[in-house]
């Protein structure tokens, strides 16, 4: 009986060793069954959705990196089998891809396939356009705002964020447009006419990605923090 129990224990131990080895072999990425390629970039133009379908990527990065030179332009082949999804996984169509959209393109191919831009993409994830850029200027109204076209106000004693968009302390003319939003420092609605000489203003511009700062841009949001109650 003792001998049977020992052999049984050895059999159990051998089974415990063999199981993880089998799992490891089954999950091994180098099995050669399929290969995966991935390229990320921004679209040069809207996708072409008539045969031959394609989209061209700029500012590319590759996974693995050996697939291509980072930053090079890549034309991606598409067809009826390519799956298009948004960044949250919802289904999209080829026609949804616009200029400037950030794409992740994936290829799943039989093991041993070499990467080539003639391969048709398996899956395209459209992450939409890059987030907008925000510019800020803080200063003191030189006079009451002008509230008839052209609307605006001039700031003195300015500070900028990012700092590179202006020289600290310089005077800045700010333009208002039909969609400029005016609020007080607690968020309650105000109007252009509420801005008086000496008011401390925070001006915000929200622009599409890649827009350079210019005082010709209309302010998106103006926060009127009122006047100081003391002098330094």
Phi-psi category of 152—alpha, beta or left, where left has phi over 0 and alpha has psi -120 to 50?
left
19 CA to centre of own chain: 44
Element (H, E) at 232: none
Question: Mean pLDDT, to the nearest integer, of 83-104?
Answer: 95
Q: Is the pLDDT of residue 20 over 70?
A: no
My answer on whether omega of the bond before 162 falls inside 30° of 0, hence cis, is: yes
Structure confidence by residue, pLDDT tens digits, 136-147: 999 999 999 999
Given this chain, do its domains 32-126 and 133-224 carry the same CATH topology? yes
- DSSP for residue 189: B
pTM here is: 0.64
Distances (CA, A) of 74 to 68, 120, 123: 9, 13, 16
Question: Mean pLDDT, to the nearest integer, of 155-172?
Answer: 97
Q: Is the pLDDT of residue 19 over 90?
A: no
Which is more confidently placed, 163 or 31?
163
Which residues does 168 contact at the CB level (< 8 Å), separation at least 6? 158, 159, 160
Topology of the domain covering 32-126: OB fold (Dihydrolipoamide Acetyltransferase, E2P) (2.40.50)
Domain ranges of the chain: 32-126, 133-224
> In which band, very low, low, confident or very high, does the pLDDT at 229 lie, cut at 50, 70 and 90?
low
Only one residue has tokens 């622009």, namely: 207
Q: Is the pLDDT of residue 113 over 50?
A: yes
CA dist 84 and 32 (Å) reads 26
The dotted CATH code for 133-224 is 2.40.50.320
């Amino acid at each position: 009986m003792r001998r049977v129990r020992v052999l049984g224990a050895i059999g159990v131990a051998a089974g415990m060793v063999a199981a993880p080895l089998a799992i490891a072999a089954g999950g091994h990425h180098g099995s050669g069954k399929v290969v995966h390629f991935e390229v990320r970039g921004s679209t040069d133009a809207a996708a072409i959705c008539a045969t031959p379908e394609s989209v061209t990527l700029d500012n590319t990065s590759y996974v693995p990196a050996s697939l291509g030179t980072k930053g090079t332009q890549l034309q991606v082949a598409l067809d009826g089998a390519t799956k298009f999804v948004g960044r949250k996984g919802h289904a999209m169509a080829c026609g949804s891809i616009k200029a400037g959209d950030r794409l992740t393109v994936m290829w799943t191919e039989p093991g041993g396939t070499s990467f080539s831009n003639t391969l048709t993409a398996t899956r395209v994830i459209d992450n939409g356009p890059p987030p907008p850029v925000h510019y800020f200027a803080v200063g003191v109204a030189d006079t009451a705002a002008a509230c008839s076209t052209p609307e605006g106000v001039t700031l003195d004693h300015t500070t900028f964020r990012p700092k590179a968009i202006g020289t600290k302390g310089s005077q800045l003319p700010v333009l208002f447009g039909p969609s400029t939003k005016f609020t007080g420092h607690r968020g309650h609605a105000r109007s252009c006419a509420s801005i008086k000489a000496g008011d401390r203003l925070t001006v915000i511009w929200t622009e599409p990605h890649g827009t350079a700062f210019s005082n010709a841009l209309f302010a998106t949001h103006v926060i009127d923090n009122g006047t100081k109650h003391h002098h330094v």
